[in-house]
């Protein structure tokens, strides 16, 4: 008989589900331990106490589970719900090794349980309000387990009433207290939530220099939890777009207002203008705060994504992120920097999105100045001195040859633009940056600065040593030109984030176009010099035609590159 009894116990042991480790997620909905026993029906010798009777969005509430008599408890399960509701609300944090957070209804940190089946007389945890819904009261529910067969289910706390304004109001902004903890991290990126960050793969919980946003579709598929954070003097914002340019974008903005409070705003972008504020819709702020100049917001919403051209959570969109300053009235100003995802993403399918960063305006200005200087104005000055001197031979103005009056101001303009481009990029970079580009740029700057000084102290045209100046001046100009072209190539490689590096390819075409012109006009001049009988009237016309065609092509390449620089993005 004893042998049969032992066999029976061994057979039923696998179906007796006991959880000394506290991993009781399966009991979240019913709060009933799976111990194959009935809950006690009498008054529980335990209580749930709160350190406040009212709450607002973002408030942190101390929740204490306590044995009111001599009876201890070995296990417990705690969650919060709206009175009359079914879903868990808020998030928990623990400070003791006796407790751990659980993900009920696939919502992280939405419940708390024990970590081991040891005797306990009290447990204290912190609950953070994350949703006001319709402003209903919140009540805490707990299950206390004294032993495997003795436990009490759904012991409740006193209701805690909401004392703020609902985050789901029809207004355009929602506010949370500035003291709320941020609790935003890159954990679960690509697992349960879609993330975008700059620098790539940075963690905002570990670095205050991290710009970060995430989107997580909650259970049921109708609610999304968004997070955004970053250091800023006014606001951080993210949006959804059908392309990588501003316009027809669904945007959420986390900004500081004139009272120093942080608000969440829903807006719509129509282009390179201030976004249009639109109603928040069904949005509940979890956290909106600023700490050490780092602005962060977390909120949940059932608002569908809409760019007018496409709508819905299960559509693919480019993710946009921007940050900048705001004025004294809290109005956001033009962004300081933006970055976008390199590909469209579907937020219902968790993934870590790769980023492309908008090239800063000062870097674009530097590139444009160098491009114009040494591919257009500098080229014009060199062509005038080398090839067109004879076209206007003998023609003077103000006592100087016409070609000279064109060459000098054009080259002075080129050198001035080079100096300005060098200064602004050096100040922006706050020092030296590695790579070949700054080395080439410094050489261009030094030689460009020397060129007009040498020209100013040149000897007269009839001097026997004049040829030394002519050769030095010409060779130095050629060296500057070659170094400048190399610097432009390396610079375009730095700012061109496209897969094809099309800016570099266009620059290669630009350089080839110049080489072709030099070959053609050199061949023409050599042919002309070898045939003295050629009428003087025909030569200048051919030279003028070649120069005219060259500058039409030069202008086309220049415009293409300037447009490319203006829209350039960098993949970090």
Q: What is the mean pLDDT of residues 407-430?
A: 84
Q: How many CB atoms lie within 10 A of CB 273?
A: 10
Distance separating alpha carbons of residues 422 and 441, to the nearest angstrom:
7
- Give the mean model confidence (pLDDT) for residues 91-113: 86
Question: If residue 355 lies in a helix (H) or strand (E), which one and from where to where?
Answer: strand 355-358
- CA distance to 63, 83, 315, 411, 523, per residue, from 154 (Å): 15, 13, 41, 85, 96
3-state secondary structure of 339: strand
Residue 570, class by beta-carbon neighbours within 10 Å (0-12 exposed, 13-18 middle, 19+ buried)?
A: middle
C-alpha distances out from residue 569 to 351, 353, 492, 495, Å = 22, 16, 11, 6
Q: Which domains does the chain have, with CATH numbers?
A: 17-162 (2.60.40.4060), 173-357 (2.60.40), 361-570 (1.20.120.1770)
First to last CA, the chain: 74
Parallel, antiparallel or unpaired: strands 46-50 and 60-67? antiparallel
Angle at the Cα of 65 from the Cα atoms of 60 and 69, rounded to 5 degrees: 150
d(CA 513, CA 147): 87
Query: What pLDDT, in 10s, does the model give residues 5-47?
Result: 444 444 444 433 455 555 677 778 788 887 678 888 888 999 9
Q: What is the mean pLDDT of residues 132-141?
A: 72
pLDDT surpassing 70 at residue 446: yes
Q: Please identify which residue in the block is written with the tokens 């249009």.
A: 276
Average pLDDT across the chain, whole number: 81
Element (H, E) at 349: none
Tell me the β-bridge partners of 194. 215
Predicted pLDDT of residue 125: 94
**Residue 364 DSSP label:** H
Confidence of residue 218 (pLDDT cuts 50, 70, 90): confident
Question: Which residue in this structure is represented by tokens 């002519």?
Answer: 470
Round to whole Å and give the CA distance between 460 and 473. 14
236 contacts 295 by C-beta, under 8 angstroms: yes
Reported confidence tier of residue 175, pLDDT bands at 50, 70, 90: low
Give the number of residues written for the chain.
Answer: 572
pLDDT tens readout for residues 323-378: 998 887 778 888 888 888 878 888 888 777 766 666 677 888 888 999 999 898 88
**361 contacts: CB under 8 Å, gap ≥ 6:** none
CA separation, residue 509 to residues 485, 512, 521, 558 (Å): 12, 5, 18, 11
User: Quick one: pLDDT band at residue 459, thresholds 50, 70, 90?
Assistant: confident
Distances (CA, A) of 239 to 150, 201, 269, 564: 52, 19, 9, 24
| Phi and psi torsions of 213, nearest 5° | -140, 150
Are 132 and 162 spatial neighbours (Cβ–Cβ below 8 Å)? yes
Kindly list the distances between the CA atom of residue 378 and the CA atoms of 313, 384, 516, in Å, as whole numbers in the listed order.
53, 10, 17
DSSP state letters, 362-380 = HHHHHHHHHHHIIIIIHHH
**Contact present, 8 and 86 (Cβ < 8 Å):** no
DSSP string over 229-283: EEE-SSEEEEEEESSSSSSSEEEEEEEE-TTS-EEEEEEEE-SSSPPEEE---SE
- Rounded CA-CA distance 38/30 in Å is 13
Most confidently modeled range among 80-89, 231-240, 498-507? 231-240
- Choose among 289, 221, 217: nearest CA to 256: 289
pLDDT digits (tens, 9 = 90+) for 176-196: 544 455 788 888 888 888 999
Report residue 240's pLDDT band, with 50, 70 and 90 as the boundaries: very high
Asked which of 119-123, 236-240, 357-361 is least confident by mean pLDDT, the reply is 357-361
Answer for the pair 494, 502: CB distance below 8 angstroms, yes or no.
Answer: no
């Amino acid at each position: 008989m004893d042998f049969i009894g032992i066999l029976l116990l061994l057979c039923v042991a696998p179906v007796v589900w006991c959880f000394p480790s506290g991993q009781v997620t399966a009991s979240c909905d019913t709060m009933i331990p799976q111990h194959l026993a009935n809950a006690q029906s009498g008054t529980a010798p335990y209580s749930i106490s709160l350190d406040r009777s009212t709450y607002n969005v973002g408030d942190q509430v101390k929740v204490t589970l306590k044995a009111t008599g001599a009876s201890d408890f070995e296990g417990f399960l705690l969650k919060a719900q709206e009175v009359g509701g079914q879903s868990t609300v808020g998030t928990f944090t623990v400070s003791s090794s006796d407790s751990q957070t659980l993900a009920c209804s696939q919502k992280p940190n939405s419940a708390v349980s024990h970590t081991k089946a040891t005797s306990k007389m009290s447990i204290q945890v912190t609950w953070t309000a994350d949703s006001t819904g319709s402003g209903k009261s919140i009540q805490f529910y707990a299950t206390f387990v004294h032993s495997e067969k003795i436990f009490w289910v759904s012991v409740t706390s006193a209701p805690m009433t909401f004392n703020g304004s609902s985050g789901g109001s029809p207004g355009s902004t929602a506010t949370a207290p500035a003291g709320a903890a941020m609790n935003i991290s890159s954990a679960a990126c690509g697992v349960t939530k879609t993330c975008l960050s700059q620098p790539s793969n940075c963690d905002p919980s570990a670095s205050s220099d991290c710009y970060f946003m995430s989107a997580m579709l909650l259970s049921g598929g109708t609610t999304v939890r968004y997070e955004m954070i970053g250091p800023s003097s006014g606001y951080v914002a993210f949006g959804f777009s059908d392309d990588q340019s501003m316009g027809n974008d669904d945007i959420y903005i986390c900004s500081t207002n004139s009272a120093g409070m942080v608000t969440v705003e829903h807006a719509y972008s129509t282009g390179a203008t201030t976004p249009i504020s639109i109603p928040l819709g069904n949005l509940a702020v979890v956290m909106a705060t600023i700490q050490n100049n780092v602005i962060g917001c977390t909120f949940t919403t059932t608002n569908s994504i809409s760019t007018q051209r496409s709508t819905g959570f299960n559509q693919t969109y480019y993710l946009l992120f921007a940050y900048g300053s705001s004025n004294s009235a809290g109005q956001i100003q033009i962004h300081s920097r933006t970055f976008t995802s390199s590909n469209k993403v579907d937020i219902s399918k968790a993934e870590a999105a790769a980023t492309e960063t908008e090239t800063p305006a000062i870097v674009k200005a530097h590139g444009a100045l160098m491009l114009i200087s040494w591919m257009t104005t500098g080229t014009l000055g060199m062509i005038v001195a080398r090839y067109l001197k004879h076209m206007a031979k003998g023609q003077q103005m103000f006592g100087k040859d016409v070609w000279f009056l064109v060459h000098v101001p054009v080259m002075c303009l080129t050198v001035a633009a080079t100096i300005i481009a060098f200064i602004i990029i050096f100040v922006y970079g706050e020092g030296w940056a590695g790579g070949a580009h700054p080395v080439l740029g410094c050489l261009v700057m030094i030689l460009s600065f020397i060129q007009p000084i040498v020209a100013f102290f040149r000897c007269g045209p009839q001097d026997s040593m004049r040829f030394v100046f002519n050769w030095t001046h010409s060779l130095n100009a050629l060296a500057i030109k070659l170094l400048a072209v190399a610097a432009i190539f390396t610079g375009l490689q730095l700012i061109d984030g496209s897969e094809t590096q099309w800016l570099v390819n266009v620059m290669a075409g630009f350089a080839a176009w110049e080489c072709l012109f030099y070959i053609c006009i050199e061949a023409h001049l050599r042919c002309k010099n070898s045939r003295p009988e050629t009428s003087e009237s025909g030569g200048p016309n051919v030279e003028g035609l070649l120069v005219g065609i060259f500058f039409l092509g030069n202008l086309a390449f220049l415009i293409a590159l300037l447009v490319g620089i203006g829209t350039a993005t960098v993949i970090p």
